Structure 1
Amino acid sequence: MLAHLPLIYVLLMAAFATFLFCFALQRWMRIRKLAWVSLVVSIGCCLGMVAVGGLQRQHWSAQQMLVMYSFAWTGLAIGLFPSRKFFRQLADEARRGVRREDFEYPARYGWFVCFSVIVMSFLAFLLAT
């Protein structure tokens, strides 16, 4: 359904999902370098998804893979939302020079990230075919 839209609209969806994810990381952690690195990684993931979709046996189109990317990245941003205070605390400690021996990400946050990405990816699959 969404894959039948013109390419420019699907590219705008992907750009918005990338902006949402990078903006959220910048807002929660306040580390500008992290936002730029996440932008570069996001673009690489987007291009990788389009390339892998074209190499598969059923040949997913670029529009279908961009819809999948947009929904997955939006699901990632939504999934990281509950842990924003945890990320801000880690960033503040890092700015103050506090070194941690171990990094323990609470399981409830991890489960919510996985759940939201899976739900959004399933929804994207339904809307992309």
Structure 2
Amino acid sequence: MLTSLPIGWLWLLAAASTALSSCLLGSWIPLRKFRIAYPVTMVVCGGALVGVCRLTGIDLTGALVMYSCAHIGLTLGLLPQRKLFKEVLERWRRGEPTDNIKVPRRHQVFFAVCVVAVLLAGFALTR
């Protein structure tokens, strides 16, 4: 279904999902290095994804849809952890140890379910 859209719209969807993910995670983790490194890393990984998809026979439209869905799932899955990110950052800035802060199990499960569910939805929308 989504692969029938013009390729320009899929590039726009990929750019919008990357920008949204970068802005939200940048506000949750307000470190300058992270705000610069995260979008660059995601674009490089997206380029690698497109390259791997081309080598395995998946067309560009399918790769762009899956890339966008991965960013949407990642952002949704990290929603419950935004307070934890800020707490870790505040402790780190004060020089306190952050090793004892653990991610709750329910946050980990929610993250995994969100990423997998959105990727499965994206896969279904590419057929």
The TM tier, using the shorter chain, reads: over 0.9
| Shift in CA distance, 23/128, structure 1 to aligned 2, threshold 3 Å | same
Tell me, yes or no, if structure 1 residue 15 matches structure 2 residue 48.
no
Tell me the matched-pair count: 127
Which sits farther off after the overlay, 26-35 or 111-120?
26-35
Q: TM-score, normalised by structure 2?
A: 0.93
2:123 aligned residue: 125
Tell me, yes or no, if structure 1 residue 108 matches structure 2 residue 102.
no
CA RMSD in angstroms comes to: 1.3
Q: How far does residue 103 in structure 1 lie from its aligned partner after superposition? A: 5.2
Q: Which amino acid aligns with 1:72?
A: A
Deviations 1:47-71 (A, max 9, x none): 1111111111xx1111110100101
In structure 1, runs of 5+ residues without a counterpart are none
Identity %: 32
In structure 2, runs of 5+ residues without a counterpart are none
1:26 aligned residue: 26
Matches of 2:90 and 2:107, distance apart in 1:
19
Q: Which amino acid aligns with 2:124?
A: L
Which sits farther off after the overlay, 25-34 or 62-71?
25-34
2:37 aligned residue: 37
Q: Which amino acid aligns with 1:41?
A: T
Deviations 1:63-87 (A, max 9, x none): 1101001011101000000111001
